[in-house]
């Protein structure tokens, strides 16, 4: 199970409330979430990371906002389940891939890579991902890749490059869930963007009016996290543990408000 970008307190609350039940119902062996917007909409803190791990997330990926909170730097030294994009230059804190044990199932490798189109200059994500996959394949039959990128073409091209070499490639960053989930010819599950977990009565999780003022005036604004219509979005992937090939992929969009209403009614 993969959870799209968690945005602020509303996103963290959705994970805490919804994930335990969904994990049981869907019998998810491993839960991965992108957490780069968890702390007030920007970055990751030790407290927010602990909160989401405690809710049932096994591995946390990130992206270009991973460095927005300074306290994340020492966290990388202590928390192997927290990833940053692997194609940052040598010397950057943390790691871009990890192998995690999955009870009753084969070990799973998780890889985090960031695109370059409209995203700034990092190391070449194609070369970095290709190298990481070759390193992970002897260690894990099941390999999951979070591609944090702006351009659809770059996400698709990266997935096509590793089709048959990894179990799934899921895109993050644009916060708009796409409807193109599929199994590629080589057996790799693919979705261009998982969407985001947080308030959807918003502009990508932020209050609407400040964003509109920024577009209208080009003046700096404070983009606060919105609060209404909170959804938990992402995808569930079935993988054949013997071959590492995906057999199914389903995107989801679960309402926090609906879950709370059900709890109140019961």
Residues forming the active site: 65
Number of other CB atoms surrounding residue 66 within 10 Å: 30
- Could you tell me if 26 and 236 are in contact, meaning their C-beta atoms sit under 8 angstroms apart? yes
Enclosing H/E stretch for 109: strand 105-114
Phi, psi dihedral angles at 135 (to 5 degrees): -70, -35
58 touches 75 (CB < 8 A): no
Instruction: Give the list of residues 6+ apart from residue 91 with CB closer than 8 angstroms, or none.
Output: none
Cα Rg, the chain, nearest whole Å: 18
What is the C-alpha separation between 196 and 180, in angstroms, rounded? 16
DSSP 8-state symbol, 96:
S
């Amino acid at each position: 199970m993969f959870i799209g970008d968690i945005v602020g307190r509303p996103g963290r609350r959705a994970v805490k409330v919804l994930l335990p039940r969904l994990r049981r119902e869907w019998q998810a062996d491993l839960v991965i979430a992108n957490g780069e917007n968890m702390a007030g909409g920007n970055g990751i803190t030790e407290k927010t990371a602990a909160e989401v791990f405690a809710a049932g997330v096994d591995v946390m990926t990130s992206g270009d906002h991973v460095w927005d909170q300074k306290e994340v730097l020492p966290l990388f030294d202590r928390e192997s389940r927290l990833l940053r994009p692997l194609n940052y230059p040598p010397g950057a804190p943390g790691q871009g891939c990890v192998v995690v044990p999955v009870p009753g199932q084969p070990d799973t490798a998780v890889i985090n890579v960031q695109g370059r189109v409209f995203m700034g200059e990092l190391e070449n994500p194609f070369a970095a991902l290709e190298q990481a996959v070759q390193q992970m394949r002897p260690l894990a039959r099941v390999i999951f890749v979070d591609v944090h990128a702006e351009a659809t073409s770059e996400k698709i091209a990266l997935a096509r490059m590793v089709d048959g070499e990894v179990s799934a490639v899921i895109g993050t960053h644009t916060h708009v869930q796409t409807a193109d989930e599929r199994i590629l010819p080589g057996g790799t599950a693919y979705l261009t963007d998982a969407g985001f977990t947080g308030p959807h009565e918003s502009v990508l999780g932020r209050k609407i009016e400040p964003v509109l003022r920024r577009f209208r005036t080009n003046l700096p604004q404070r983009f606060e996290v919105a609060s209404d219509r909170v959804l938990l979005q992402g995808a569930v992937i079935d993988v054949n543990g013997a071959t590492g090939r995906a057999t199914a992929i389903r995107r989801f969009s679960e309402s926090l408000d609906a879950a709370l209403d059900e709890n109140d009614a019961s």
